[in-house]
Structure 1
Amino acid sequence: MAPTTPVTAATSAVEKDNKRITRGWTFYDWANSVYPLVITSSVFPIYWGTQAVDAQGKDIVNFLGYTLPGSSLLTYAISFAFLLIAIVSPFLTSLADYSGRKKLFLQVFCYLGATACAGLFFFTKGTLVPSTFVFIAATVGFSGSIVFYNSYLPEISSEEKFDSLSARGFSMGYIGSVILLVLCLVLIEGHEHFGLEKAFATRLSFLLTGIWWAGFAQIPFATLPADPGRPAGSTNDSSWVLNGFRELGKVWAELEHQPNLKRFLLAYFTYNMGVQTVMYVATIFGDKVLNLETQALIITILLLQIVGILGAYLFAKLSERIGNTRALSWAVFIWMLICVAGYFVQKGWSFFALAAVIGLTMGAVQSLSRSTYSKIMPENSPNNAAYFSFFDVVEKLGIVIGTLSFGVIAQITGSMRNSILSLIVFFILGLGFLLTLRGKKLRDTTGADASTVPGPPPASPVTSTPATAK
C-alpha cells in the first residue's frame, strides 16, 4: 500500500470567526432552506396530493407496475433518495478531505439539487414517474450539499461560538425560505391576476425555488475558503481516489477510541429519525388525515418557520446555561409528547398549538445537534468532511428507516395516526442514549488528533480544556 500523503490541517490556514466568512457561510442556509420549506414541507406535497391520484381522485397510483397509495409513494421516494446519499456521501466526503475539493463537491450537489428542483416545473399527472425521479435527484442534491456545508463549521468558528453560529445559520434559512414562500403564495393564490392557471403558477414556484437556491449560493461560494484540507502534493497524486477510501478507513479506526462520539451518533440516529420523519410527512398528514384546506396548511408552515427561529436561539441560550446534552434531552422529551398529541390532534386550535410546539423544537434539535457534534469531534481535524460524512450518514439512514416505517405502517394499518404514534419509540431510545452522556466530557481526550490513528491513551495530560456535558 502506498504511504499516505501528509495532511495539513485546514484550520491553520483559515481565520476563525472571520465575520465575512461566517456571514457568507450562513447564506448557504438562506439559499438552500427554500428546498425543505417549499418542496419538502409546503407547496410540493400539496401539489403532489393533487397529481398522485387515480382517475377518481383517490390516493392511489400506479408506479412502475405497482399499485400503492400516492402518499406512501412520496415517503418511499424520500427513503430511496436518502439511502442513495447515505451510500455515496462517505466516499465523496473522504475524497473531498484528501483531495481538497470540499467546495467543489458543495457546488456540484448544490447545482444538482437546484437544477432538479427547477425541473419539477414539468411535473403533471402524465409525468408522475419521471417527476418522482427528478424529486429524488433534488433531494440527493440538497442532502449531499449539507454534508460539505456542515463540515465548514469547526473550520471557520471557534468552539465557544459553535452553538450561536449554528443557530444563526438555521435562522437565516428560516427567514430566507419564508420570504420565498410568501412570494410563491402571492403567485399561486393570485394566479388569476397574473393570467396564469393555478397548477402552472404552482409549478412556476418550483422553478423559482431552484433559481433562488443556485443564485444565493453564489455568496458562500465567493466567501468560503478555497480547498480546505488540501494535502501537500495531492494535485499530482494519481492515486487520490484510493487515498480517499484510506482516509475514510482512518476515521473509522479513530471512532474506536472515541466512545462519546459513538454514543452521540447513536442517540442522534434514533431521535433524529423521528424528527426528520415528522418534518417530511407533516404536510401530507394535514392534507390527507385532517383534510385541512391549503390556506390553513400554509399558515401552519409559516408558523413553524417563525417559531423555529425563536426555538433555535432559545435552546442555544439554554445549552449555555445547562449544557448541550441536557438541552437536547429536554427537546427530545418534548418530541415524545408531540407524538402522543399527534395521534389525537384534530382540526382547530389543537393543531395550531401542536404546530407551534413542533416549530419551537424543530430548529433547536437540528441546530444543537450540529454544534454538539462539532464539539465532540477531534479538535483541528484535517478530516472534518469525513467526520461530518458519518454525521450525515447517520442522519440519512435514520430518515430512510423513519420514512419507510411511517409509509409501511400507514399502508398496512390504513391510518397515518398509527405511524405518528409509533415514532415515539425512536425518541425514547434517543433520550436514553443522550442520558449516557450526562456528566461526561464531550470530547474524548484520547485520539484528539485526527490526523493519525490514535494508539494507547497519552501519558501526558491534555492541555486544552474539553467541552463538558451537563
Structure 2
Amino acid sequence: ADYVGNKKSFLKFFCYLGAISCIGLFWFNIDYLWFGFLCYFLALIGFWASLVFYNSYLPDIAFPEQQDKISAKGFSLGYIGSVILLVICLAMIMFYDTFGFEDEGLPTRLSFILTGVWWIGFSQYTYKYLPKGNKAEKKLTRGVLFNGFKELKHIWIKLGDNIRLKRFLGAFFVYSMAVQTIMLVATYFGIEELDWGEQNSTTGLIISILLIQLVAVVGATLTSRASGKFGNIPTLIVINIIWMAICIYAYTVTTPNQFYVAAACVGLVMGGVQSLSRSTYSKLLPEHAIDTASYFSFYDVSEKIGIVIGMFSYGFIAELTGDIRYSIITLTVYFLIGIILLLRIPKALG
C-alpha cells in the first residue's frame, strides 16, 4: 500500500471483505458449516487487516499535538456506534414476536446482515474525506509484491534505529498480551466463575458488555486529557498499574455486582489504553514519515501476536492449575513487565 500509494484502496478492500463475509454468516448453521467457518475466517481477516490502514491514517490527518484527542474521539465514536447497533440487534432478538418473527433464530441471523450493512454504510463517509495515500500513486506491476516486502524491510531497519519507537513497541507488545486476553475471556470468566443465582447469566453478560463499551468512552476521553497534562508515557504507566489492580480484584470476584464493578473498571482503562497506545505510537514515528501503513503494520502485528501468546498462557495456566482465577492473576506479570519497559523509554515524548 505504501509502495503503490493507494492506501485507501486497501482499506476499502479489506473493509468490504470483512463486511460481506459478516453478511455471509447469515447462513452459518450445521448444513453450511464449512461455508460459515470460511465467512468467519474472512471476516476476521477483513476486520484486522483494515485496522492497519485505518490506524495508519492518524498521523496523516492530525498534527502530533492533536493525535491523542483525535485517537480518543475515534475510539469513543466506535464504542458508541457498537452500543447502538448491539441494542438494535438485541431488541430484535429478545422481542422477536413484536417484530413479527416466530422465534429468535431468524432475527439472530439477520443481525449479521445488519452488522455488515452498518459496516459498509458508515465507512462511506470516511472514504469520502480520506486521502489516497502519502505518495504519488504508481501503476501496479509484477514487482509490486517484491517491492512491498522491500518497503517493510526498510521500515524494520528504521524501527531498529529509532530507540524510543522500538522500546515503546516492545512495551506495547507485552502489556497488550494481557489487555487483549482480558477482553477476550471476560465473558467466559463471568459464565464459569460467578454464581448468578436467580439472575439470568446471559442478561448479566449483555449488561456487562454494554457497560464496558459505554464506560470506555469516558476512559478514552479522560486518558486523552491526562496525557495532555502529564505526558503519554506516565499516563500509560498509571493505566497499566490500574490494570494490575483490576486483575487482583477479579481474582476475588464471586457475585454479579462485583463483576459489574470489574466490568466498569475494565471499560475505563480499556478505552484509555487502546486510544493512547495508538496515538503514542503515532507521535513517536519519524517526523514527516510517509510510510505510515508499513509502520502501523508492525504495531498491529505486535498486538495480534500478543493475543496468541496471552491466550496460550491463559489456557496453559488454567489447565495446569485447574482454576482460571490463577490465569487472571498471572496476567499482572505482563502489565508489570510492560511498566518496566515503558520506564526504559527515553523522556523525549511529552
- Report the TM-score, using the length of structure 1 for normalisation: 0.70
Per-residue CA shift, 1:362-406, capped at 9, x if unaligned? Answer: 010000000000111001111111011111111111011112322
Matched, 1:218 2:139: no
**Identity between Structure 1 and Structure 2 (%):** 49
Amino acid at match of 2:57: Y
Query: How do residues 399-414 of structure 1 correspond to structure 2 at under 5 angstroms?
Result: 399-414=307-322
The structure 2 residue matched to 1:134, chosen from 35, 39, 46, is 39
| Residues 318-327 or 249-258, more deviating | 249-258
Question: What is the Cα deviation at residue 203 of structure 1?
Answer: 2.0
| Correspondent of 1:286 among 186, 190, 197 | 190
* Alignment partner, residue 83 of structure 2: 178
- Alignment of 1:158 onto 2:63: yes
**1:73-127 deviation digits (Å, cap 9, x = unpaired):** xxxxxxxxxxxxxxxxxxxxxxx00001211111111111112222222233555
| Other-structure match for 2:6 | 101
Amino acid at match of 1:316: S
Given candidates 169, 180, 188, the residue that maps to 2:93 is 188
Show the counterpart of 1:124: 29
Identify the range of structure 1 (169-178 vs 192-201) with the bigger mean alpha-carbon deviation: 192-201
Q: What does residue 168 of structure 2 align with?
A: 264
What CA RMSD, in Å, does the superposition of the two structures yield over aligned residues? 1.8
Q: Which residue in 2 is equivalent to 1:335?
A: 243
Q: Deviations over 1:245-275 (max 9, x none)?
A: 1111111111221111111001000111111
Partner of 1:204: 110
Does structure 2 retain, via aligned residues, the 8 Å contact 1:111–1:214?
A: yes
Closer, same or farther: CA 429–106 of 1 in aligned 2, 3 Å? same
How far is 1:306 from its partner?
A: 1.2
Q: Which moved more, 1:100-109 or 1:414-423?
A: 414-423
Is 1:440 equivalent to 2:347 in the alignment?
yes
Partners of 1:98 and 1:229 within 8 A in 2: no
* Deviation of 1:195 (Å): 2.0
1:316 paired residue number? 224
Alpha carbons 2:19, 2:115 under 8 Å: kept: yes
Q: Is the 8 A contact 1:98 1:231 kept in 2?
A: no
Q: 1:190 to 1:309 in 2, by over 3 A?
A: same
The structure carrying a bigger helix percent of its residues is 2
Evaluate the alpha carbon distance shift between residue 386 and residue 214 of structure 1 in structure 2; reply closer, same or farther with a 3 A threshold: same
Distance in 2 (CA, whole Å) between partners of 1:166 and 1:314 is: 12
- 2:30 & 2:5 partners in 1: Cα distance? 43
Inter-CA distance 341–123: structure 2 relative to 1 (3 Å threshold): farther
> CA shift at 1:231, angstroms?
4.2
In 1, Cα distance between equivalents of 2:74 and 2:93: 28
Q: 1:241 aligns with which of 145, 166, 171?
A: 145
Residue ranges of structure 2 left out of the alignment (5+ in a row): none
Residues 194, 256 of structure 2: 8 Å contact kept? no
TM-score (norm 2): 0.93
Moved more, 195-204 or 174-183: 195-204
Alpha-carbon distance in structure 1 between the residues aligned to 2:319 and 2:39: 24
Q: Does 1:374 align with 2:282?
A: yes
**Residues of 1 paired with 2:128 and 2:246: CA distance?**
41
Which residue of 2 is the match for residue 355 of structure 1? 263
Cα shift readout 1:395-451 (whole Å, capped 9, x = no counterpart):
1110111123223433454433232222122111111101112x6113xxxxxxxxx
Give 5+ residue unaligned stretches, structure 1.
Answer: 1-95, 443-467
Number of aligned pairs?
345
**CA separation of 1:158 and 1:356: change in aligned 2, threshold 3 A:** same
